[in-house]
Amino acid sequence: MRHDAGPSRPPEVIDAGPAILRRWLVADLDASCEAVFGSLEHLRPWLPWAADFSRATQAEFLAGCELNWQSGEAFDYAVLVGGAIAGSAGLMARIGPGALEIGYWVHQAYTRRGLATASAAALTGQALALPGIARVQIVHDELNVASGAVPRKLGFVKIERRPLDHRPPGGTGMGVVWEMTRRRWRGTVCR
């Protein structure tokens, strides 16, 4: 009998409503650099990696996305609107077994259109549909009000505060942890 030894993965392309999530490819280097360079001022307060962002670090990130996708360590997607890169969103397996963490950023020209909320909603649904995944978390610095509004709007529950691994320049380094369980997701939303 043949056994599939690989990890279960979400789809490579996800319809998130106002955006399409398509997994990052190494071929996205030019377009993604343009998107990040066009948003650096907006990203730097909250994303430590934005401090020393360069074409080389982005090439490393995209190569890492490919490896992580294969290993199941992370599933990172470009957020596409009309084919253009409007941000990034992903699922990371770094919070222990049975759980995935969602991360996101949105290009400054595309904010306040519901893209982070729609992307996080789509990824939550996909994550909780994976075998063995019962919890999804979103973690943000306590001063990052915009980021915290996303899990709140989706019905995540604030479960704890814990120090972040890296203090973002605009924050205190104290993280707020929001969680959605499979049972709650099914119960709070008709899916």
Ligand X SMILES: CC(C)(COP(=O)(O)OP(=O)(O)OC[C@H]1O[C@@H](n2cnc3c(N)ncnc32)[C@H](O)[C@@H]1OP(=O)(O)O)[C@@H](O)C(=O)NCCC(=O)NCCS
One residue of 32, 117, 126, 137 binding ligand X per CB under 6 A? 117
Binders of ligand X in range 150-189 (CB under 6 A): 150, 153
Q: With contacts defined by CB under 6 A, name the span among 63-71, 123-131, 138-146, 157-165 that binds ligand X.
A: 138-146
Distance, CA of 143 to CA of 55 (rounded, Å): 29
Expressed in angstroms, the distance from the first to the final Cα of the chain is 34
- Decide if residue 68 touches ligand X (CB under 6 A): no
Distance separating alpha carbons of residues 62 and 90, to the nearest angstrom: 13
Q: How far apart are CA 69 and CA 9, in angstroms?
A: 8
From the CB of residue 155, how many other CB atoms can be counted at a distance below 10 Å? 15
80 binds ligand X per the rule CB under 6 A: no
Residue 145 found at the interface with ligand X (CB under 6 A): yes
Residue 114 makes contact with ligand X by CB under 6 A: yes
State the number of binding residues for ligand X (CB under 6 A). Answer: 22
Report, in Å, the least distance between residue 82 CB and ligand X.
Answer: 15
Residue from the set 75, 105, 178, 185 that interacts with ligand X by CB under 6 A = 105
User: Which stretch, 26-34, 43-51, 154-162, 176-184, contacts ligand X (CB under 6 A)?
Assistant: 43-51
Closest CA to 87 of 137, 29, 39: 39
CA 27 – CA 191 distance, rounded (Å)? 34
d(C-alpha 94, C-alpha 61), whole Å: 16
**3-class DSSP state of 144:** coil
Q: Which is nearer to ligand X, 22 or 42 (CB)?
A: 42
Please report whether residue 147 would count as binding ligand X according to CB under 6 A: yes
Helix, strand, or coil here: 154?
Answer: helix
Q: Is 163 exposed, middle or buried (0-12, 13-18, 19+ CB in 10 A)?
A: exposed
- Among 64, 111, 143, 182, indicate the residue that binds ligand X (CB under 6 A): 111
Specify the stretch interacting with ligand X by CB under 6 A; choose among 11-19, 57-65, 110-118, 156-164. 110-118
| Binding stretches for ligand X (CB under 6 A) | 42-43, 46-47, 104-106, 111-117, 140, 144-147, 149-150, 153
